[in-house]
Each structure stands twice: as structure tokens, then as C-alpha cells.
Structure 1
């Protein structure tokens, strides 16, 4: 990586420090050169592809979404030199005083992303097979591996309900991890969006539920509904939502969140047991609580809600 940077910068007079790692094999370094800061992505080619990141970054930039600029690339070895969007994640700045302005800023950027014309980029569809495969992680890693429990008989019907809810929605560009750890603030409090390389063409409510029912921070329902209203009114005005009632959108949002959080419970356990990243287990209780709340609210999910409440091992996760 240093050899490539020496060549790309035509200099070895730079400083490198670890910036972060994420839930994949990617690592990130902060590079200081000529009194400017950059980010170096190290994505081992045997595990990660850089092409999706490059394609989606260039597409998003062309549509006004604030993502990193790619200054140099070495796809053979998996290195990218990116603009630095700052060291401050949304999660570090969200509090009762800042939340309203920050969430509206994030929703504005989300609307910009959803308005992007997808006819110039080939994104995979968030299709039923993929949605079900994701939810199966709940059975494989959360129920069986983590808790030693057999799946309830109601699970296939629940999965079918959640897939139907997803595919009946308007489809648009979906970031897939649009939450407080992937939204950055620079020194001028301007938003930057990262970790978008897994973007797909999928349900309109997915990124909004990732943002507002974040697995790392929770808000009172009154606040959430106010931000939902803010999104809904603009999405209708901009033509993202057509002839959709607020009640219908609420159902889409709630059940989309149930699909996402069921999946995430499995992912957090897989990160722990397979990848030795145990810190994600701290986020199980909040994620599970979202699943409990939504499943208890809808009659079609009552069998699943009952399973969650009757299983002592699940009920004990607080």
C-alpha cells in the first residue's frame, strides 16, 4: 500500500494512521499529505470487490449525493485513495438538541439519493430470494447458533409477509446501511455518506427505517413520527411516493424495519461467532426490542410475537 501511495502521490512524505475497520474485510487509513487529509481504503481482492464502490460512488456524486471523491485507485490490489469526510459520525453528535436538524439533513440527502435516475447504472435487485436469504440468518445464527433454539413454525409465513411488503413498494436506489455510523459530519457540519458499496434497487422505505430505527440509537416514537412526516410530505411532493396514504406508508416502514432487524440479529451473531467481532453483540437488545415492538403491533405477526415472548432465552435479552 505504501509503495502504491509513493507512486500515486509521487512522494513518500506522508503520514498514515488507522482510521477504522468495518464489518467486512475492508480497512481504512487516514493519510496526511501536503497539509490535507485523505482516506485510504484497503479492500483485499480475495475477499472484497472495489468495482461496486467505484461505480456507485461516481454515480452518486453525479446526482448530488455527498459521498467521497476517488482520487486514485489500484483495483488489482484493492486500494483506493478517497477524500476525507471527517472523523465525526452522526452517532457522536446526536442528542436532544441536535437530532432534529441532523435527521432532516440526512432525510434531505436520502431524498436526493432516491431521485437518482437508475437507467445509467446496473444495480442488483433487492429481490425476494435475497430478502429471504437475509432473514434466514436470524434462524441460522441468532436462534440456532446463539440460543440453541429451533425456528418456530410461523417463520416461513412471516418471511413471506415481509417479502410481499417489500416488493409492493416503489423501488429506488437503496444504500442498505443508511444509519448513524455511516453518516459523517465535517468541520462545517456538512453531511457525508459512506459504506454504500452494497447498494441495490429496492424498497423505498428501507433506508428511512435504517436511519430512524437505527440499531445504535433509539428515539421516542413522537420524534420518529415527526421525522417520518417530514420525509413523507417531501417524498409525495417530489413524486417518489404517488397515491400512497400515510397509513400505508407507516405499514411499509414498520414491516420493512421488521425484515431488516430480523436480518441484523443474525448478522450481529455471525460477526461474533464467525468473524470474532464480539462488540456487535452489545447491540442485540435494542435490535431485538424493535422486532418485539413491531411484531406485537400487527395481527399477522402475532404468532411470531408470542414465540418471542414465550421463549425464555429470547425474553431474557434486555
Structure 2
């Protein structure tokens, strides 16, 4: 292929044998995403079939997947769980324009494409295609893989995936199989790694670069106290485990690179068929009641001497989160920013509610205590039944926050009766242990924080849909609006309710 003068230098990788080729296919599969086209070059016998088969099997998480040659059909489609993938062989294609007839653009709208003999249609392929050439070394099954990138972020993605492979090798997991587990709304990605009966989770969490300043010269992430690297996860994990909570054991870490290898807590869910399992949500509420009996430290020291200071969930953080509603949802619906009058009234109303919580008891808020981050472990008892993950953004804030996150789960509809039962059981446990526990104050804070969280998440999901190209988050909007309406019925929120009644886009 031809490279533009500004293109990065080709990346060459020596593959000692067929096993190394299979591992390379897995490394590539881990970074593949919808819209990607991989153009695979090489003479007959160069290993294109071996690599293609391994890549498709890794995407399918099925080592026995049938991978027929598309030589005669030209296209072999696969409807994988993550996204569809088309395997193309253009050897028999005579005119580059035929690529349009095959519908490559439509394939890339929703999925990815693996293209053999791409030189038959080079100019017709997307400019940001990843070009890859395989060449035999002449020594056994050895090969040289060379990657060419003209446009896009392939260089960054590949380098990151290859670095994770080196991290696993250095942690004693040489040759581990890698399978995509999940991504989330941030840059973090998770994989299942396995050698025989051993399995673990690899967390790939590159350091979060500071964004542009949005207020007082600070970026959003710093004001909202979002973790900028993996050290906060390691710190919170360590403290939770020391108190007997089921956070994952950290098996290996490279905090500078942003790689962690952690215990696999399983796949058990607190949800079944899209609905909460009441017993498991109740167990989660009881866990929070236990967690809130501890006096958690403001600082945690790691083994390398790094001190993580757990930030306060302060006014600035709460306000900038609430204002995501103004920044993203309002203009998305109305086509214009909120009026000066509406924005001022919004900030005034939320500041008054934050004032009400000023004297409330404070504790660690894990901050995303909801169904995706709770792993049900059926054969264990007590708090060990619930594995805890995704707590790197923990802060010190009002006790009601995490219960509000659970009781108004953004991704699962929690019926109002179950929400009330969770609050009642939590309050009962706290009162049993402390006769002076302020149940009315807790319920007030719960209403404030659940309304705040719904407001914030409406803004976040709008941002994910519009800025980040993830429209699937919009499916949760009706649930969030129902939660918000539920929370605004508390008398303490009467003033802010008037704001939503008057100014919220209809």
C-alpha cells in the first residue's frame, strides 16, 4: 500500500511460530471496534488464513468457530455479540468499484471488516484502514507482521494492546488467552485472561489526561474528583479488603502504565431478565449499612509509598455534576443553552439543597454502587456474596449517596415499593446499631442525592450519545425521568421541583 508522508513509520513484529501468530490475532481482536477495516496482505501461505481464523474466533469467544473461506462468496458475515464482522476475500474481484456493490460502507456502519487481498480495491477502502502484511521468515512457521497506518488512532490502540500483552507476560501469564469482557463509559477496558484453569481480569485504564479548563482554570475531571490513573482503585481496593469486603485481589499492577491484573469475582448478577432480584438488592443495602459503620480514612498509603487522599464530595463537585443537565440535556432538546434566568435559578436551587446536607454524617461513597458493579456470588454468605468493582472515583460524602445509586439504578428499573423497602431495611440496620441515627435526615439526603444523581446521569447519557457516538444510553432516559419525578416529591425538594416544572424541557 502507499503511505502518506505524515503517516507513522510501519510497525514490524517478529512472530516466532504459529502460536505467536495466534496471540497477535487476539491482541488485534481486543482493540477492534465498529467502523474498523483491517486490510490483510500476504502471498499464499503467508498465514493470512491462520490469523483471520484466530481473530474471528477470539471475537466470537469460540475456539471451535467454523471459519469458511470467503474466496467464492467474497463475503462471509458474522453476527457476533459485540458487533458484526464481515470477512472479505477480494482475490476474485476484477474491478475496485465492486467493493461498493458488496456494501462495505454499510458493513462498517455497525461493524468491522477483515479484508484479504485488499490491494484489489486499495483506493476504494477507507483512508483509516489498518493495513497489515504477513511475510514468512523462512524458518519454520516464523513470520513478520508489518502494520501500516495512514489515518486514525490505530497506532495508539495497537501499542496499548501490545503493552498489555507484555504486562501479562511479565506477571507470569505468558501465552494467556485474551477475551474482551467489557468497556464502560470511560476509557477503561476489561478483558478475561486465561491459562488452563487459571483466570483473571485485566484492567486497561490509561491515565486520564486533563481536559480543557471549564471553571477556575480546572478541568471537569479534577473538579468532579474523577480518578486520573489506577492508583485510587488500588488504594480503595486495599482498604475495602482489609475490612473484609469482597473487592478483587490485585494480582499484578503497573500503575504507571495503567494496567492491573485482578481477581475474577465471577459473572453473577443482582439482576435477572432485566429486573432487580429483591433478595440481592436487599443484601446490597445491608452491605452499605455495614460499610457505613466504619470510620474510613481520608488517606490510604500504597506499598510504593504513594498516598491517595480520598477527596471530599464537595460543593464544586456536586454542582458541576448537576450542571451537566444544563450543559448537555437542555441544549440537546431545545437547540439552545438554558436562559440566564433558568441557569441562575437552577444553581441557586441546588446550592440550597447542598446547604441542607452540610451537617450530615459523611462516609466513603463508592459512587457507582449499582447493578453493573455488583457481582453476586451465590455460594458465599454475608457481605462476601457481593463482589465490589468500579470504585476508583470514591469520595467522602453524605451516607445516602450509594443507597440512592442502588435504589434508583440507572440501568434497571427499581419499582418504588422495592426502593422504599431498601431504604427501610437500611435505616432499620443503622438504628439497631446507633439509637441516635437520624432517619428523617437520611431520608431527606436520599431524596436530594437521588434527584441529583438522576439529573447528573441525564446529562452524562446525553453527552455519551451526542458527543461520544453511543446512542444506546438514551434508552435509559425514561427511567431516569421517572426516578427524578419520584425524588422531587419529597417536601425538602419543593423549590427545585418548581424549577423543573417551569424550566425543564418538555
Contact 1:265 1:287 in 2 (8 A): yes
Task: State how 1:275-294 maps to structure 2 within 5 Å.
Answer: 275-294=468-487
Alignment partner, residue 314 of structure 2: 127
1:42 aligns with 2:204: yes
Match of 1:88, SS state, is coil
Contact 2:401 2:449 in 1 (8 A): yes
Match of 1:248, SS state, is helix
Task: State how 1:19-30 maps to structure 2 within 5 Å.
Answer: 19-30=181-192
Alignment partner, residue 296 of structure 2: 118
Distance 1:259 1:46 in 2: 25
Match of 2:363, SS state, is strand
Alignment partner, residue 166 of structure 2: 3
Alignment partner, residue 263 of structure 2: 83
Alignment partner, residue 462 of structure 2: 269
Alignment partner, residue 334 of structure 2: 147
Alignment partner, residue 194 of structure 2: 32
Distance 2:462 2:230 in 1: 26
Alignment partner, residue 198 of structure 1: 393
1:57 aligns with 2:237: yes
Q: Decide which moves more: 204-213 or 289-298.
A: 289-298
Bigger relative CO (Cα 8 Å, ≥ 6 apart) = 1
Distance 2:441 2:231 in 1: 37
Aligned residues: 306
Alignment partner, residue 325 of structure 2: 138
- When normalised by structure 2's length, the TM-score is 0.57
Distance 1:10 1:37 in 2: 10
Distance 1:109 1:91 in 2: 17
The change in CA–CA distance for 1:11 and 1:219 in structure 2 (over 3 A counts) is: closer
- Comparing both structures, which one devotes a greater share of its residues to strand? 2
Distance 1:105 1:254 in 2: 21
Match of 1:198, SS state, is coil
Task: State how 1:183-222 maps to structure 2 within 5 Å.
Answer: 183-186=374-377, 188=379, 190-222=385-417
After TM superposition, give the deviation of residue 307 of structure 1 in Å: 2.1
1:165 aligns with 2:356: yes
Contact 1:216 1:283 in 2 (8 A): yes
Match of 1:167, SS state, is coil
Distance 1:139 1:117 in 2: 36
Distance 2:203 2:482 in 1: 34
The change in CA–CA distance for 1:277 and 1:168 in structure 2 (over 3 A counts) is: farther
Distance 2:270 2:476 in 1: 17
Distance 1:180 1:91 in 2: 7
Match of 1:255, SS state, is helix
The change in CA–CA distance for 1:225 and 1:169 in structure 2 (over 3 A counts) is: same
After TM superposition, give the deviation of residue 8 of structure 1 in Å: 0.9
- Comparing both structures, which one devotes a greater share of its residues to helix? 1
Match of 2:372, SS state, is coil
Alignment partner, residue 212 of structure 2: none
Alignment partner, residue 20 of structure 2: none
Distance 2:376 2:273 in 1: 9
Contact 1:53 1:197 in 2 (8 A): yes
Contact 1:16 1:30 in 2 (8 A): yes
Task: Structure 1 unaligned segments of length 5 or more: list them.
Answer: none
After TM superposition, give the deviation of residue 291 of structure 1 in Å: 1.7
Distance 1:291 1:55 in 2: 33
Match of 1:89, SS state, is coil
After TM superposition, give the deviation of residue 187 of structure 1 in Å: 5.4
After TM superposition, give the deviation of residue 85 of structure 1 in Å: 1.3
Contact 2:275 2:412 in 1 (8 A): no
Q: Which has the larger radius of gyration?
A: 2
Distance 1:35 1:222 in 2: 43
1:250 aligns with 2:443: yes
After TM superposition, give the deviation of residue 273 of structure 1 in Å: 2.1
Contact 1:162 1:256 in 2 (8 A): no
- When normalised by structure 1's length, the TM-score is 0.88
Contact 2:275 2:414 in 1 (8 A): no
After TM superposition, give the deviation of residue 296 of structure 1 in Å: 4.4
Distance 1:107 1:293 in 2: 19
Alignment partner, residue 106 of structure 1: 284
Q: CA RMSD in A?
A: 2.2
